[in-house]
Amino acid sequence: MMKKIAIIGSGMMGSALAFPARENGHDVRLVGTPLDRDIIEHCRACGRHPKFDIPFPEGIKYYQFEEWQEAVADVDFVIGGVSSFGVDWFLEAVLSQLSPSVPVLSVTKGLIGLEDGTLISYPDYWARKLAEKGIQRSVNAIGGPCTSYELVFHDHSEVAFCGEDEKVLRMMKEAMGTSYYHISLTKDVIGLESAVALKNAYALAVAMTVGLVNREHGADAGLHFNSQAGAFYQATREMLKLLRIQGADEESAAIGIGDLYVTVYGGRTRKVGILLGEGKTYDEAMRILSGVTLESLVVARRVAKAMARKAELGQVDLADFPLMVHVSDVLDRGKDAQLPWDAFTFDRT
């Protein structure tokens, strides 16, 4: 049965989801945020997102944000396609105004730290803020090892949709699943959202090893995998410890590790990690990548701050998270990217 789906936020992942949705025969409306005016105009003129080489399937409708209420007037569900920098904007401009009867599926990855070091998901954050306004709404979310450009390319992608309402999740899976976009379902919202957020911070650390090889042996040395694998191994150790703290189940943890893999080997987080490994300072790397949205840095800082607070309260030992601490020190204390390899070893004898 044809569904009507509005995607609000025409960044790369929100726009990529228009492909499986429209290819399944649904009525798809892509809505830009106030920052996406040029993107929507380009889509209207060319039928293609400016970041993608492959054109959109025919029949997608494009809306500027001032037209968003027209776009969502009769939809079966809304996909939130904003970055983590748009979390509060999406809360006030869309979630607070949208009928609570309309289900929402969010692509936004990240965590919010509370005063006591507790890390909550964006769906939880939105639900708490909306409840303060007297609005009852639960937001579903997507997590998994899937980059936007590979989804557009139709490379096989395994993801999970999480939420509280099984019926809503199954409806969304039926609407979005294709021969190349494979969807699992889970009620483990905090586990899945934590897993796919934490991988951003740790992918940054693994990517540093590529830059370190370039620095020590020259750019012509090529890729060397021992150091990448060593950092990846340590990243998974720390992620699993953090996910136990978050109460994640085994499946969510596995998805997070898969997401760590794909993030290490492509995208913006890899670029900044390599620059830091090559010896660039944080400020130098930011100047080189001017205009690039780096959610991984937000996550890294929030997780480090939360764990530092938990350590103050005697709830965790920061010695269990040497790679996370190292990333924090590189970003905010000017420490060189050279990894503390000996801190990763253990002795179980």
Per-residue pLDDT tens listing for the chain (349 residues): 899 999 999 999 999 999 999 999 999 999 999 999 999 999 999 999 999 999 999 999 999 999 999 999 999 999 999 998 999 999 999 999 999 999 999 999 999 999 999 999 999 999 999 999 999 998 999 999 999 999 999 999 999 999 999 999 999 999 999 999 999 999 999 999 999 999 988 999 999 999 999 999 988 887 789 999 999 999 999 999 999 999 999 999 999 999 999 999 877 889 999 999 999 998 899 889 886 667 788 889 999 999 999 999 999 999 999 999 999 999 999 999 999 999 999 999 9
pLDDT of residue 164: 96
Interstrand relation of 140-143 and 111-113 (parallel, antiparallel or unpaired):
unpaired
Angle at 263 between CA 227 and CA 206, to 5 degrees: 20
Transcribe 155-224 into DSSP letters: --EEEEEE-S-HHHHHHHHHHH--SSEEEEEES-HHHHHHHHHHHHHHHHHHHHHHHHHHHHH-GGG---
Transcribe 41-63 into DSSP letters: HHHHHHSS-TT-SSPPPTT-EEE
pLDDT of residue 156: 98
Domains for the chain: give ranges and CATH numbers: 4-187 (3.40.50.720), 191-344 (1.10.1040.10)
How far, in Å, CA of 109 to CA of 10, rounded?
16
Contacts of 7 (CB under 8 A, 6+ apart): 14, 15, 17, 18, 21, 28, 29, 30, 31, 78, 79, 81
pLDDT of residue 291: 63
Three-state DSSP state, 120: strand
pLDDT of residue 60: 98
pTM: 0.94
pLDDT of residue 295: 79
How far, in Å, CA of 134 to CA of 115, rounded?
23
pLDDT of residue 292: 66
pLDDT of residue 224: 86
